[in-house]
Structure 1
Amino acid sequence: MTMPSSPSRFRKLLIPVLIFMSGVAITWFVQDALREHAKATLREEFSFRVDELVGNIRGRLASYEEVLWGTAGLFAASHVVERGGFRAYVRMLKLESTYPGIQGVGFAQWMAAEDKADHVQAVRAEGFPDYDLRPPGEREWYSSILYLEPFDWRNQRAFGYDMYTEAVRRTAMERARDEGGTTISGRVRLMQETERDVQSGFLMYLPLYRPGMSVDTVDGRRAALLGWVYAPFRMDDLMSGILGSHFGETGAGLGLEIYDGRGTGRDALMFESAGAADGARARYRIERPIEIFGHPWTVVAYPLPAFDARLRTDAADLILTLGVLGSAPLAWVAWLTLTARARALAMAGRMTDELRRSEAKQTALFENMGSALAVFRASADGRDFYFRAFNRAAERIDRIPRGEVLGRRLQDVFAGVAGSGLLDMMRRVWLSGTPEACPVSFYADERVSGWRERFVYKLPDGDIVVTFGDVTARKEAQLVQEKLNRALRLLSDCNTALVHADDEYRLLVEVCRLIVERGGYLMAWVGYVDAGAGKTVRPIAQSGHEAGYLDDIHVTWDESQHGRGPVGTAIRTGRTAVIQNVLTDPQMAPWREAALERGYQAALALPLICEGTTLGALTLYSRDAHAFNPDEVGLLEEMASDLAFGIVTLRTRAEHAAAKEKVAFLASYDTLTGLPNRLLLRDRFEHAALIADKEQGGYGLLAMMYLDLDNFQHVNEGLGHDVGDRLLVGAVEYLRRCVPETDTIARLSGDEFVVLLSGGRDLAGIAAVANAIRDAFAEPLAVDGHLLTTSFSIGISVFPHDGRDFDTLLKRADTAVHSAKESGRNTFRFYTREMNADVVERMRLTGMFPGALRNREFVLHYQPQVHAATGRIVGVEALLRWQHPAEGLISPGRFIPMAEQSGHIVAIGEWVILEACRQGRAWLERGGAPLVIAVNLSALQFKRGDVLETVTAALRDSGLPPHCLELELTESILLQDVDTTMKTLHALKALGVKLSIDDFGTGYSSLAYLKRLAVDKLKIDQSFVRDMLTDADGASIVKAIIQLGHTLQLTVIAEGVETEAQLAFLGGSGCDEVQGYLFSRPVPAAACGDLLAAGLPKRA
Structure 2
Amino acid sequence: MNQLGQRHQHFREVFKARDLLTVTVLVLSLFITYGLWDTAVRSADQAQQMTFDFRVRESTVRIEQRLAIYEQMLRATKGLFNSADDVTRGEFRSFIASLSLPEMFPGIQGIGLSVIVSPAAMSRHLATVRAEGFPEYAITPEGKREVYTSVVYLEPFFGRNLRAFGFDMYSDPTRRAAMDHARDGGTTGVSGKVKLVQETGGDVQHGFLMYVPLYRKDAPHATLEQRRANLIGWVYAPFRIDDFMVGISGELAEDLDIEIYDDERVSAEAKMFDSNKLIDATSVVHQLKRVRFIQAANRTWTIVITAVPEFERRMRWDRPQLILQSGTSISLLIALLLWLFLDDRARALHAADQAMQLALYDALTGLPNRKLLEERLGQSLTKAKRSSSHVALLFIDLDKFKPVNDNFGHGYGDLLLKEVAKRLQSCMRESDTASRLGGDEFVILLPDIEGREGTALVATKILDRVMQPYEIAGHRFEISASIGAAIYPEDGVEGKVLIKAADLAMYAAKNAGRATVRFVPRKETAPPTVHNGDWPQPT
What is the TM-score when the length of structure 1 is the normalising length?
0.30
> Aligned partners of 1:137 and 1:319: how far apart in 2?
75
Residue 299 of structure 2 corresponds to residue 295 of structure 1: yes
Instruction: State the partner residue of 1:262.
Output: 264
CA contact (8 A) 2:140 2:168 kept: yes
> Aligned partners of 1:435 and 1:273: how far apart in 2?
56
Instruction: State the partner residue of 1:307.
Output: 311
SS of residue paired to 1:233: strand
Shift of 1:75: 0.7
Going from structure 1 to structure 2, the CA distance change for 1:119 and 1:272 (only over 3 Å counts) comes to: same
SS of residue paired to 1:24: helix
Matches within 5 A, 1:631-646: none
Q: What is the Cα-based RMSD across aligned positions, in Å?
A: 2.7
Instruction: State the partner residue of 2:251.
Output: 248
> Aligned partners of 2:289 and 2:316: how far apart in 1?
20
Residue 389 of structure 2 corresponds to residue 435 of structure 1: no
SS of residue paired to 1:229: strand
> Aligned partners of 1:8 and 1:34: how far apart in 2?
39
Code of the aligned partner of 1:221: R
Residue 73 of structure 2 corresponds to residue 67 of structure 1: yes
> Aligned partners of 2:245 and 2:139: how far apart in 1?
32
Residue 93 of structure 2 corresponds to residue 87 of structure 1: yes
Instruction: State the partner residue of 1:286.
Output: 290
> Aligned partners of 2:320 and 2:91: how far apart in 1?
67
Shift of 1:33: 2.0
Shift of 1:92: 1.6
Going from structure 1 to structure 2, the CA distance change for 1:199 and 1:329 (only over 3 Å counts) comes to: closer
> Aligned partners of 1:129 and 1:313: how far apart in 2?
67
Shift of 1:268: 1.6
CA contact (8 A) 1:103 1:232 kept: yes
Matches within 5 A, 1:196-207: 196-207=202-213
CA contact (8 A) 2:257 2:305 kept: yes
Instruction: State the partner residue of 1:557.
Output: none
CA contact (8 A) 1:282 1:302 kept: yes
CA contact (8 A) 2:117 2:149 kept: yes
Instruction: State the partner residue of 2:455.
Output: none
> Aligned partners of 1:268 and 1:29: how far apart in 2?
46
Shift of 1:85: 1.4
Instruction: State the partner residue of 1:275.
Output: 277
CA contact (8 A) 2:257 2:279 kept: no
Shift of 1:47: 1.5
Shift of 1:98: 2.4
Code of the aligned partner of 2:134: F
SS of residue paired to 2:269: helix
Going from structure 1 to structure 2, the CA distance change for 1:173 and 1:147 (only over 3 Å counts) comes to: same
SS of residue paired to 2:37: helix
> Aligned partners of 2:356 and 2:234: how far apart in 1?
74
- 1:1064-1100 CA distances to partner (integer Å, 9 max, x unpaired)? xxxxxxxxxxxxxxxxxxxxxxxxxxxxxxxxxxxxx
Matches within 5 A, 1:627-706: none
Code of the aligned partner of 2:335: A
SS of residue paired to 1:309: helix
Going from structure 1 to structure 2, the CA distance change for 1:278 and 1:185 (only over 3 Å counts) comes to: closer
CA contact (8 A) 2:49 2:288 kept: no
> Aligned partners of 2:203 and 2:326: how far apart in 1?
57
Code of the aligned partner of 1:293: A
CA contact (8 A) 1:107 1:148 kept: yes
Code of the aligned partner of 1:273: S
Instruction: State the partner residue of 1:325.
Output: 329
Going from structure 1 to structure 2, the CA distance change for 1:212 and 1:37 (only over 3 Å counts) comes to: same
SS of residue paired to 2:246: helix
Residue 137 of structure 2 corresponds to residue 219 of structure 1: no
- 1:669-711 CA distances to partner (integer Å, 9 max, x unpaired)? xxxxxxxxxxxxxxxxxxxxxxxxxxxxxxxxxxxxxxxxxxx
The one of 145, 169, 184 equivalent to 1:139 is: 145
Code of the aligned partner of 1:291: Q
Instruction: State the partner residue of 2:113.
Output: 107
Q: Structure 2: where are the runs of 5+ without partners?
A: 358-539
SS of residue paired to 2:205: coil
Code of the aligned partner of 2:325: T
Code of the aligned partner of 2:98: M
Instruction: State the partner residue of 1:20.
Output: 26
Shift of 1:337: 6.0
Shift of 1:285: 2.2
> Aligned partners of 2:229 and 2:356: how far apart in 1?
82
The one of 96, 117, 122 equivalent to 1:116 is: 122
Shift of 1:335: 4.3
Going from structure 1 to structure 2, the CA distance change for 1:265 and 1:321 (only over 3 Å counts) comes to: same
Shift of 1:235: 0.8
> Aligned partners of 1:324 and 1:145: how far apart in 2?
73
- 1:1048-1071 CA distances to partner (integer Å, 9 max, x unpaired)? xxxxxxxxxxxxxxxxxxxxxxxx
| Larger gyration radius, structure 1 or structure 2 | 1
The one of 29, 33, 39 equivalent to 2:39 is: 33
SS of residue paired to 1:208: strand
Structure of greater relative contact order (alpha carbons < 8 Å, 6+ residues apart): 2
> Aligned partners of 1:278 and 1:73: how far apart in 2?
43
> Aligned partners of 1:278 and 1:169: how far apart in 2?
28
Instruction: State the partner residue of 1:451.
Output: none
> Aligned partners of 2:280 and 2:301: how far apart in 1?
21
SS of residue paired to 1:157: helix
> Aligned partners of 2:203 and 2:277: how far apart in 1?
16
CA contact (8 A) 1:142 1:162 kept: yes
Shift of 1:305: 2.4
Shift of 1:204: 0.6
Instruction: State the partner residue of 1:160.
Output: 166
- 1:777-828 CA distances to partner (integer Å, 9 max, x unpaired)? xxxxxxxxxxxxxxxxxxxxxxxxxxxxxxxxxxxxxxxxxxxxxxxxxxxx
Code of the aligned partner of 2:300: P
Code of the aligned partner of 2:267: G
- 1:26-66 CA distances to partner (integer Å, 9 max, x unpaired)? 10121122122212211211121111011111111211111
Shift of 1:134: 1.1
Instruction: State the partner residue of 2:238.
Output: 232
SS of residue paired to 1:129: coil
Going from structure 1 to structure 2, the CA distance change for 1:125 and 1:311 (only over 3 Å counts) comes to: closer
CA contact (8 A) 1:278 1:304 kept: no
- 1:585-640 CA distances to partner (integer Å, 9 max, x unpaired)? xxxxxxxxxxxxxxxxxxxxxxxxxxxxxxxxxxxxxxxxxxxxxxxxxxxxxxxx
Going from structure 1 to structure 2, the CA distance change for 1:216 and 1:322 (only over 3 Å counts) comes to: same
Going from structure 1 to structure 2, the CA distance change for 1:113 and 1:322 (only over 3 Å counts) comes to: same
CA contact (8 A) 2:52 2:288 kept: no
Matches within 5 A, 1:435-514: 435-436=353-354
Residue 102 of structure 2 corresponds to residue 184 of structure 1: no
> Aligned partners of 1:105 and 1:234: how far apart in 2?
13
CA contact (8 A) 2:110 2:238 kept: yes
CA contact (8 A) 1:105 1:229 kept: yes
What is the TM-score when the length of structure 2 is the normalising length?
0.60
> Aligned partners of 1:438 and 1:311: how far apart in 2?
36
SS of residue paired to 2:245: helix
SS of residue paired to 1:222: helix
Q: Structure 1: where are the runs of 5+ without partners?
A: 341-365, 367-373, 377-425, 440-1100
Going from structure 1 to structure 2, the CA distance change for 1:434 and 1:307 (only over 3 Å counts) comes to: closer
Matches within 5 A, 1:747-826: none
- 1:868-896 CA distances to partner (integer Å, 9 max, x unpaired)? xxxxxxxxxxxxxxxxxxxxxxxxxxxxx
Count of residue pairs brought into register by the alignment? 349
> Aligned partners of 2:63 and 2:100: how far apart in 1?
20
> Aligned partners of 1:97 and 1:235: how far apart in 2?
17
> Aligned partners of 1:121 and 1:27: how far apart in 2?
86
Code of the aligned partner of 2:251: G
SS of residue paired to 1:173: helix
